[in-house]
Amino acid sequence: MVIPGKAPHPWQAGNCCYGPGLNLDLAKKMLDAGQKEAQKQGVPMAMTISDSGGNLIAFNRMDNTMLVSNQISMDKAYTAVFGKLPTGAFSGAYHDHELVPLFFHERWITFNGGYPLIKDGILMGGLGVSGGRIEDNYVAKAIMKVGGFDTAAADALIKEYEAGLNKEISQKTKSKKK
């Protein structure tokens, strides 16, 4: 979440430094886990893992994934690295004009599915998942978990979604009983 008028925690000095740590072998294992979760979700996905400079390490496009998802997943990984925050964190600030429009560039993505890959306070890369809606976040969580990266942001988004879904189901059940 971006709080108006204050730099987000990862931007403040010493809170999230860039560093090495990702390699192709680990990235492949992470993407394999992502593909299994995407199959479980029933939505073909494009998944990208970048290094701490936003450069591509590994990419996986499942059969029948929407073609636009290829570039979106790459741009989500790029945005997560350069912004040091999950891509969805920029949505409100962008729409509320709190960040200067020049801050955003042609690769900047402001919706969910992109996560910085952080371990022990070090940003080691970026992850971008595209092809679904909430499903992107379940897949991202599976990918980050296998890599040993922080899943708190994905966990929170999924928890919020599931709470809303449970509330909606409960309301429909109550209205059917009337």
**pLDDT above 90 covers what percent of the chain?**
56
| pLDDT for 147 | 96
| pLDDT for 38 | 97
Place of tokens 């990918």: 143
Strand partners, 130: 46
Residue 30: CB atoms within 10 Å:
27
Let me know the angle formed at the C-alpha of 34 by 122 and 38, rounded to the nearest 5 degrees: 140
Q: What pTM was computed for the model? A: 0.82
pLDDT, tens digit, 9 for 90 and up, residues 88-131: 887 766 666 666 655 556 777 778 999 999 998 889 999 999 99
Specify whether the CB–CB gap between 90 and 108 falls below 8 A.
yes
pLDDT, tens digit, 9 for 90 and up, residues 35-65: 999 999 999 999 999 999 899 999 999 999 9
| pLDDT for 121 | 85
Q: pLDDT at residue 76 above 80?
A: yes
Q: Which CATH architecture has domain 14-177?
A: 2-Layer Sandwich (3.30)
CA-based nearest residue to 47, from 165, 156, 128, 132: 128
Rg (CA), the chain: 17
Specify whether the CB–CB gap between 50 and 79 falls below 8 A.
no
| pLDDT for 91 | 72
Q: pLDDT at residue 2 above 60?
A: no
| pLDDT for 10 | 67
